[in-house]
Every structure is written in structure tokens, then in C-alpha cells.
Amino acid sequence: MAAPMKHATPVGKIVFEKSNFNDKKSRHLQHITDHYFNYSVETMLPGCGILPLDIQMPLTEVEAFVSYMVPLAQIIRPDFLEGFVRRGKLHILSHGTQIDTQDCAALLPTGMLILNLTKDSYEQLGIEGKVANFGDRKTCKYVIEINVKDPTFVPGKKLYERIKRCLTEHLNLKFDFLLTWGPEDEKVSSASVQYYFQCNGFVCNRLPIRRKQREYVDLAVPVISSDNPTGEAECCCDSMEFYEWLGACATDVDLSATSLDSYTSSYTCPSPREQKDRCVTWVCRGMLTCDSIIDVLTKLRQIVQKMDLPWVNLTVHGFMDSPVSWGQREHSFYHNGDNLYTFVIFPNNDYWLYSAIGSKDICI
């Protein structure tokens, strides 16, 4: 029927927060560190012609690796647990497995090993878990959480032996893993995890980090005010319209040609707007760590004050097929597996934070 479908499931949710970096209760750091698996980082600097070099540094230094066909039992071997899991921040995420239909695994830096399994694999494996929050009867999935950092999770103990037996004898789960390791001891190189996998006979390569820079000339930029996110006063834009505009820039929508009477698109830059001579955006893709993103955020806060920019933005996209979104909150894929957040940083230390999440994810 012609009537719009009002009762269909919403495709996504959005959380908007406005706060100040100097607020003692501000949770911006926690928001970044809780989002363990980051795929892409994007920044936009309006009114800035050349990208300052030092904000690129933290992300390009990240060393991520990809290792192929690693059995899960390898990760809970005592030498690996002792050498890497307990001595730094290890992020491991299965690659190429789709969370809505296939088995997925992730190891968080907190030491939680999370397996998101299909019913078949779950029943073959025989480790106790619980039914996933998301998914209908057909695509029933199960979540197993094991704390491998627990001091009692060592060979000889009942739990360890049982899990080892399940992972080796019952079902030998193998994954392609993406991994990063941040050692506690600064003298140790983070590449030693690559060496470990190579010594054990696995292919382990460095994951390339892709960078892209785009420059705009004479771009119309919406005017926003940090105190007025609803755009009630006519001097600034609504925060949601502004977010859409940021998205349009990120997806490289041609904003110059579109006007209201155009046949193909009715989208225009929200008003009020101002013309900026030069703008620069920068994208970095790969597997990025939370610490490097915090570094970028700190640098951006300095830049926005030093260079007198109206605002800068920092967008972080998570992996669609990660079993967790923020913290240990379960994540799934329905229409999309969105888990991304955007900071808009103002010179007066105020910030706006947008968290965009898919329909099968828990609101924070």
C-alpha cells in the first residue's frame, strides 16, 4: 500500500552528547577506550589548508598484523598467555567471518575471550555460554565469555584443561586474526607478537594502514555553536543536520553542484553557512588502537586552539563484524553493523559526541 511503513524496525539509533573536556565527570576517554576495535579514523579541519604532521603520527605508528588460519587453542597456550595476554594490551579480532551468520571471535585487552558462535558450532564445542541477545530462532547464536587473564586460568586447573580439550578435540575452530599488541614494557617491540606467530608456523604479515587526504577549496561550512545544539536560535545549525553534512563530506558528496531545484538531489548544505577558503580531511584505515586515537584527540584539541579553527571533527568507525561494540556489550548485524562515534571539538573545550549504532546494538 501507499501508506508509509511506520512499524518497520528502525535501521539505526543515535546518541548525542554535549559536554566539556574539563568536566570531571566527562567520559570521553572511557568512550574511546571502551571501543576496542577501530577500523577507520577520519578528521576534518575547516579553514586549514595543510594537515599538521603531528596528528598523523600516532596512527601511522600503529603496528597491526594479520595471521591466517590460527586455531583458537593457540591463543590459550600458556606461553602465549604469559608472554602477551598478561603483559600488555592485546586486541585480537577474527577477520572475514560475518557475525550474523558465522562464528566470530575476539580477545579484548581486559583478557576476555569472546566467542560468538552459531548453534552448530556451539553444540559441538561444548563450553557453557548463553544465548545471544540478538537473532531470531533461525539464526540463533550463542556467546561464550572466558576470562583468560584470570590467575587461575593456568594448565592443571580444571577450567583450563576443559576448555583446552574442547578447543582441540571437540571442535578445532580456526580463524584469520587481526591483532595489535601494546606491550607494558616499553623496551619490548610490539612486533614480537608477529615473531611469535611466525615461529609457531603461521603466516603473519603486517596489516597495511591506508591513508587518504582530501582538500577542499571554497567549501561552504555550516555555522555551529557549541551551546546551541538544537539550533533554536537562527544563528547556528541543528546538530543532526550538521552530522548529516559531516557524513556528506566523509562520503565525498559533491556539495557544490547540488541546488534545491536539481532533479537528482534535493540535498543542500544546511544554513547558516560560511565560506571557507580551504578545508582538509584525512582518513586512516586499518586496525587502530584506542591509545593512538586518544593521542589524536589530544593533538586535535591543541590544534583547534592554536590555529583558531571554529571546530574540528574526529570520526571513528568500528568493525561491523566485531562481537562487541563498547565494553562487553554485545553487537550484531541486521541492516548494518554500525558502531561509530564522532567528536566535534570546539576551541572552548566543549565537545559534541555522536554515537551512531545499528538496530541490533545496545544503546549506551
Partner 1 sequence: MVRHKNRYILCEIIYTDNKRIERHMTDYMVYGAVISALQTAHGDFGIGSLQSSLCVKYVNPITSMVLIRARRGAHKMVQSALYFIKKIGQYEAFFRTLHLGGTIRSCCKFLIKHHKQKLPKLLSECKDEEERRKVQEIISSYSDEYKKEQLIASF
Partner 2 sequence: MYWLSSDNSDTTGGDCEKEERGMYEKHVSKGHLPYCYLKVRLDFEDDADIDIIIFKHIVIQAVQSLFGEAVSCTPIDVLKYRQTNREAILRVSSSYFTKLWASLTWYSSYNEQSCAFRVLQVSSHLMALAANSRQLSLA
Given the rule CB under 8 A, which of 70-78, 181-189, 283-291, 301-309 is the region that contacts partner 2? 283-291
Residues that bind partner 1 (rule: CB under 8 A) add up to a total of 3
- Residues 1-60 within binding reach of partner 1 (CB under 8 A): 1-3
CA angle 314, 315, 317 (to 5 degrees): 150
Q: How far is the CB of 116 from partner 2 (least distance, A)?
A: 16
Which positions from 63 to 102 touch partner 2 by CB under 8 A, shown as an x/- string? ---x----------------------------x--x----
* Residue 317 interface partner, choices partner 2, partner 1, none, CB cut-off 5-8 Å depending on type: partner 2
- Residues 309-348 within binding reach of partner 2 (CB under 8 A): 315, 317-321, 335-338, 340, 342
Residue 271 binding partner 2, by CB under 8 A: no
Which positions from 13 to 32 touch partner 2 by CB under 8 A, shown as an x/- string? xxxxxxxx--x-xxx-----
* Residue 10 interface partner, choices partner 2, partner 1, none, CB cut-off 5-8 Å depending on type: partner 2
- Residues 171-200 within binding reach of partner 2 (CB under 8 A): none
| Residues near partner 1 (CB under 8 A) | 1-3
